[in-house]
Amino acid sequence: MTAPEVSGEESVTTIVTPIHLDYRYTAGLAQSRFLTGISEGRFLGQRCPRCNKVYVPPRGSCPTDGVATTDEVELANKGTVTTYCVVNVPFAGQSIELPYICAQVLLDGADIAFMGLVQEIPADQVRMGLRVEAVWVDPSELAPNLASVKYFRPTGEPDVPYESFSQYL
Amino acid sequence: MTNPVAVVSFAQMRNVRREDHRNEVEMLLPVVSEAFANVGLTKNDMGFVCSGSSDYLVGAPFSFVMALDAVGAWPPLRESHVEMDGAFALYEAWTLLCEGEIDTALVYAFGRSSPSDLSRVLALQLDPYYMAPLWPDPVAIAALQARALIDEGRATEADFAEVAARSRRAAKNNPNAQVSGDFSPETLLSEDYVVSPLRRHTLPPISDGAAAIILAAGDRATELVERPAWISGLDHRIETHALGARNLTKSPSTKRAAVGAGLLPDEAAPSLEVDVAELHAPFAHQELILRDALGLTDSVDVNPSGGALAANAFMVAGLTRIGEAASRVMDGSARTALAHATSGPCLQQNLVCALSAERPGAGGARG
Amino acid sequence: MSEDDGVLRAPHVLEYEYKRSVGPVIGAFMTGLKEGRILGVVSSGKVVVPPTEYDPESGADTGELVEVGPGGVVTTWAWVTDPLRDQPLDHPFAWALVLLDGATTGLLHAVDAGSADAMSTGMRVTARFRQLSERQGHIRDIECFTPEPAGNAQ
């Protein structure tokens, strides 16, 4: 195929086609319970009646068994760092200082780790097995979203040996 | 192609205008569970899992991954997904079963139309350079097809009302339908146009829903149910996406798919007869186009479920046609059936599934 | 966010700009629009409008681009009483497939006819382009089509 002579005008090589779609998002039953718990300063998980594992955040169904998770379980405010990473890359809209620590925290009572920031400890001292506790925003600022959890900080308890959490990695 | 494949289980959620208590996973879970329970199987018995859904309905990428929680994906499953109606996911599962490597598969579909504005979302399935930037909604696009049909003298607005009235009446017997009841065509014709020449009754309802089908091959099917609905043929054809290059009043891809599925000997064949035909016609006038393309005789029971005019969960309605048609073979009320599914504007692509109470002979099915 | 049933709901907006590269065929069409011309592509004895890179039926490479229109015939139409967001016009209008003079396939656009009574299959319409300074090389450089004066009827 041959393009015609398009005199005078520079050839068009791109077009802009903006998209805007509005949605009304439903958290669903399980996620709503979790977020309501967050707005109350609590971590709520759900247990699978078949494998007995406790999932947080709960999604209403056990991802292993495909059955509804039924029992609500309140998890402790503290847990163990199972793994972590040190982030040196800035991102748009960032307010946190670099480097910062992103960690998987196995809350006491849960069978799946929960993602959060770890602060109040130098980056090079964070380690697997570190005991941490959640630091929440002021009670007046609690809302049903994860910004209510500011970060996790060391509790000062002795580290947990690797063997106790290795299956949760 | 070796193994004959059959539908052995079908489950669906009651279609509603708005399911906004449960999210997609919570909605799908009981449907998948019921499909398994019908035949006493679990996810561990499935050789393959395939689903149909659309991220655009959820407003999130990879939403179908989260839906796997409703099945339970550990130990790891052999799994696939199509960003299309579940009927097309069934096609994928069927090809794998025909091959003979596995003998059971789970197919499911889910879609909540309520969170979004479908008139905006569906504009995005159109040509992104020439059409989508004008934001034509699906009713407008369908209306162009309806008027072309009227202009050719092949249908009238009264014919559209008849289709709607018949569908709603049939849907009274379908506990999963959303729109049903006794309406006279005259009453329906007194409605205002939504986009002329289409009135509200010619449009599909906006539905949230989910459905699941279990397929089994060969002897496995007969072990599981007394009367498997054997898939004697399955075919899918697509026309150009350039709307102005198509004759919108005909459906050549449906006709060709029917030939491919073994329901017509060739494209010149004048008529097709089956006991039941479940046609995925979201707009009333489209049922007339499909009947014409297939050459359905008057003896065919068309859309006993009420069809897509009674419930149209986007991404689910096509799979539901297969399930509804298969159910009538499984319950013994039909010996032969046809299920049709469509995708794209104005019946752009079409799938035809031939179902039979008779197990196909050696060599399996046409497709 | 909660509506007394404990379930949380929230509005969520998906918004993307999308800058699409168009290639030589669609690019030529868009450039033509900037110049106030409508182009089609010769393909297997037809003139495909809007132009495609490959023949819609055979998949063969399409050929040279030629000018079509700016007038043409409405081959089908649909009347919109309540335009939706971002549609071509914000007052009642008709969607139509317009078979431009010289074309074999129809172009989808809006017809600013004033009322449904003024619309009919077979009527002649002509493209109304935006002001030169407003054209971007985009399908919306055509603002809409308008009925041709009666004297131009064939």
Residue C5 pLDDT exceeds 50: yes
d(CA B223, CA A130): 55
Q: Are C64 and A2 a contacting pair at CB < 8 A?
A: yes
3-state secondary structure B138-191: HHHHHHHHHHHHHHCCCCCHHHHHHHHHHHHHHHHHCCCCCCCCCCCHHHHHCC
How many CB atoms lie under 10 A from the CB of residue A47? 19
Q: Are B144 and C76 a contacting pair at CB < 8 A?
A: yes
Q: Are B73 and A64 a contacting pair at CB < 8 A?
A: yes
Number of A–B residue contacts, CB under 8 Å: 83
Q: Which of B16, B21, B26 is best to mutate for the A interface (most A CBs within 10 A)?
A: B26
Q: For residue B363, what pLDDT is reported? A: 55
Q: Nearest by CB to C76, which of B20, B148, B242? A: B148
Q: For residue C57, what pLDDT is reported? A: 87
Tokens coding A60: 């209403």
Residues of C in contact with A28 (CB under 8 A): 7
Contacts within 8 Å (CB) and 24+ apart, A56-59: A56/A107, A56/A110, A56/A112, A56/A114, A57/A30, A57/A31, A57/A114, A58/A30, A58/A31, A58/A33, A58/A34, A59/A28, A59/A30, A59/A31, A59/B25, A59/B66, A59/B69
Residues of C in contact with B119 (CB under 8 A): 84
Q: Are A23 and B20 a contacting pair at CB < 8 A?
A: no
3-state secondary structure C81-99: CCCCCCCCCCCCEEEEEEE
Q: Nearest by CB to A63, which of B56, B74, B128? A: B74
Pairing of strands B193-195, B79-82: unpaired
| CB-based contact, A155 to chain B, within 8 Å | no
What does R_g of chain C's alpha carbons equal in angstroms?
A: 19
Q: For chain C, which chains pass the contact test of at least 3 CB pairs under 8 Å?
A: A, B
**How large is the ipTM?**
0.95
- What three-state secondary structure class fits C31? helix
What does R_g of chain A's alpha carbons equal in angstroms?
A: 22
Q: For residue A10, what pLDDT is reported? A: 85
Q: For residue B362, what pLDDT is reported? A: 58
pLDDT, averaged per 10 consecutive residues of chain B (367 residues), comes to 90 96 94 98 97 94 92 94 98 95 96 94 96 98 98 97 98 98 98 97 98 97 98 97 96 98 95 96 98 96 98 98 98 98 98 97 65
Spell out which chain C residues touch chain A, with contact meaning CB-CB distance below 8 angstroms.
1-2, 6-22, 24-25, 27-28, 30-32, 34-35, 39, 41, 53, 61-66, 136-138
| Residues B32 and A65 sit within 8 Å (Cβ to Cβ) | no
d(CA B344, CA B45): 34
Residues of A in contact with C21 (CB under 8 A): 13-14
Give, in order, the Cα–Cα distances in Å from A81 to each of A26, A108, A113, A149, B155. 31, 11, 8, 16, 69
Q: Are B128 and C20 a contacting pair at CB < 8 A?
A: yes
Q: Which of B243, B248, B257 is nearest to B283 (CA)?
A: B248
| CB-based contact, A13 to chain B, within 8 Å | no
Ranges of each domain in chain A: 29-161
d(CA B236, CA B234): 7
Q: Are B22 and A23 a contacting pair at CB < 8 A?
A: no
Helix (H) or strand (E) holding C30: helix C23-34
Tens digit of each residue's pLDDT (9 = 90 or more) over C54-68: 999 889 999 999 999
Tens digit of each residue's pLDDT (9 = 90 or more) over B154-197: 999 999 999 999 999 999 999 999 999 999 999 999 999 999 99
Q: For residue B367, what pLDDT is reported? A: 66
Residue A1 pLDDT exceeds 70: no
| Residues B177 and B311 sit within 8 Å (Cβ to Cβ) | yes
Give, in order, the Cα–Cα distances in Å from B1 to each of A166, B364, C38. 47, 6, 49
Please give the CATH number for the structural domain made up of B5-117+206-224: 3.40.47.10
**How close does chain B come to C45, measured CA to CA in Å?**
14
Instruction: Find tokens 């149209």 and name the residue.
Output: B312
Ranges of each domain in chain B: 5-117+206-224
Phi, psi at B284, each rounded to 5°: -55, -40
Q: Nearest by CB to B69, which of A24, A26, A61? A: A61
B131 contacts: CB under 8 Å, gap ≥ 6: B123, B243, C108, C139
Q: Are C18 and A24 a contacting pair at CB < 8 A?
A: no
d(CA B77, CA B48): 7
- What's chain A's average pLDDT? 93
Instruction: Supply angle C-alpha B72, B64, B116, rounded to 5.
Output: 135
C45: left (phi over 0), alpha (psi -120 to 50) or beta: left
Report the Cα B271 to chain-centroid distance in Å.
22
Q: Which of A75, A85, A65, A88 is nearest to A149 (CA)?
A: A75
Ranges of each domain in chain C: 23-147
Q: For residue A111, what pLDDT is reported? A: 97
Q: Which of C19, C143, C152 is nearest to C87 (CA)?
A: C143
Tens digit of each residue's pLDDT (9 = 90 or more) over C89-136: 999 999 999 999 999 999 999 999 999 999 999 999 999 999 999 999
Q: Are A14 and C16 a contacting pair at CB < 8 A?
A: no
Q: For residue A3, what pLDDT is reported? A: 47
Phi, psi at B356, each rounded to 5°: -150, 150
Residues of B in contact with A59 (CB under 8 A): 25, 66, 69
CA torsion, points B281, B283, B288, B292, in degrees to nearest 10? -50
Q: What is the largest CA-CA distance in chain C?
A: 66
Phi, psi at A55, each rounded to 5°: -105, 135
Residues of B in contact with C12 (CB under 8 A): 59
Q: For residue A5, what pLDDT is reported? A: 53
Residues of C in contact with A33 (CB under 8 A): 6
More confident residue, B162 or A99: B162
Tokens coding B151: 């202009």
How many helical (H) and strand (E) elements, i.e. helices and strands, does chain B have?
12, 12
Q: Nearest by CB to A24, which of C11, C136, C138? A: C11
Q: Are B72 and A63 a contacting pair at CB < 8 A?
A: yes
A138 contacts: CB under 8 Å, gap ≥ 6: none
Q: For residue A139, what pLDDT is reported? A: 97
